[in-house]
Structure 1
Amino acid sequence: MKVTKAEFIISAVGPKQFPVDALPEIALAGRSNVGKSSLINRMINRKNLARTSSTPGKTQQLNYYRINDDLYFVDFPGYGYAKVSKTSRQAWGQMIESYLLEREQLKLVLQMVDLRHPPSKDDIMMYDWLRHHGLPVCVVGTKADKIPKTRREKHYKVIKQELGILPGALFIPFSSEEGMGKEELWSVISSYIGNENEGQAEV
């Protein structure tokens, strides 16, 4: 996809603030510092449209970015919510769950994991939850450029085994620095927003 227009729209703290223009939405989920903002910036060829929080783990909004007036990237807060209270964590978790299960505009979840490390418990729980509810998910392995090329396949194998990614399910290694995986990811996204009933890989 050729991106000619990209803009930040809103940091939504509840459903009443979600856009109402019915454009398809692609959600980005992952732990803090996994590289969600860097991926967005690489995908749209901008250096700093999406900015990382100065206090990772504290952000409690869904950040909406409109691309080409064709779709939204919806950036979730990092897992863990380490900087907020247990009560806030529970309320926020309920909102995220409601969004994932009830938002009709949601077409695909990009679950991002750091290729340098085995998946965390939160990574595994999220992937299992998405699959249990039948939500379309593509696992994106970030920071591929940080791993020597001769060792990358080993890291891919660990991620797939730990998460339980089945043959044919979506997994894309990605590097925001090198642009690796960018075209493949746009191809996947386009298949989900362009024709919702065809060409979708098993989830």
Structure 2
Amino acid sequence: MSNPYRQAHYTISATQLSELPEDNGIEVAFAGRSNAGKSSAINTITEQKSLARISKTPGRTQMINFFDFDDERSLVDLPGYGYAKVPEKMKIRWQQTLGKYLETRKS
């Protein structure tokens, strides 16, 4: 059986809600603490070692990253919450943006 997620490709990164692609389809978002393995999970699911960038440094994913695998389905890599080697102001902005993302997206 073929893995449909192998078709996934990077689509866009957004730092704010106004930059997000249209909300039409199914999004599976990966949310969790900093350095919990969200990006690695996307790479494992898609069977692509370097689709989502990974790092040993907490807080490396700093944008909402979309990986589409067809016209109606996307995997979404979200910045982690909790410890991250970034300024406090940036962490607060991430929290606000992520909260609004989760509240407003249909899927």
TM-score between both structures, scaled by the size of structure 2 = 0.82
C-alpha RMSD of matched pairs (Å): 2.1
User: RCO higher in 1 or 2 (8 Å CA, sep ≥ 6)?
Assistant: 2
Deviation string, structure 1 residues 92-143 (Cα, Å, up to 9, x no partner):
2111111111122xx2xxxxxxxxxxxxxxxxxxxxxxxxxxxxxxxxxxxx
Query: Stretches of 4+ moved more than 3 A in 1?
Result: none
Q: 2:35 touches 2:58 (CA, 8 Å); kept in 1?
A: yes
Aligned counterparts, 1:31-70, within 5 A: 31-53=33-55, 55-70=57-72
Cross-structure match for 1:8 = 10
Deviation at residue 81 of structure 1 after TM alignment: 4.6
Residues 1:46 and 1:82: Cα distance change in structure 2 (over 3 Å): closer
**Paired-residue identity, %:** 44
Deviation at residue 31 of structure 1 after TM alignment: 1.8
Q: 2:54 touches 2:60 (CA, 8 Å); kept in 1?
A: no
Unaligned runs of 5+ in 1: 108-203
Cross-structure match for 2:25 = 23
Distance in structure 1 (CA, Å) of the matches to 2:47 and 2:87: 36
Task: Pick the structure with greater CA Rg.
Answer: 1
Deviation at residue 10 of structure 1 after TM alignment: 1.3
Deviation string, structure 1 residues 60-118 (Cα, Å, up to 9, x no partner):
210111023331111111222522222222222111111111122xx2xxxxxxxxxxx
Q: 2:79 touches 2:94 (CA, 8 Å); kept in 1?
A: no
Deviation at residue 28 of structure 1 after TM alignment: 0.3
Cross-structure match for 2:84 = 82
Distance in structure 1 (CA, Å) of the matches to 2:33 and 2:95: 14
Distance in structure 1 (CA, Å) of the matches to 2:60 and 2:48: 24
Amino acid aligned to 1:47: K
Which protein is richer in helix relative to its size? 1
Determine helix, strand or coil for the equivalent of 1:64.
strand
Cross-structure match for 1:71 = 73
1:99 paired to 2:98: no
Distance in structure 2 (CA, Å) of the matches to 1:81 and 1:11: 21
Residues 1:84 and 1:34: Cα distance change in structure 2 (over 3 Å): same
Unaligned runs of 5+ in 2: none
**Number of residues of Structure 1 aligned to a counterpart in Structure 2:** 105
Residues 1:21 and 1:79: Cα distance change in structure 2 (over 3 Å): closer
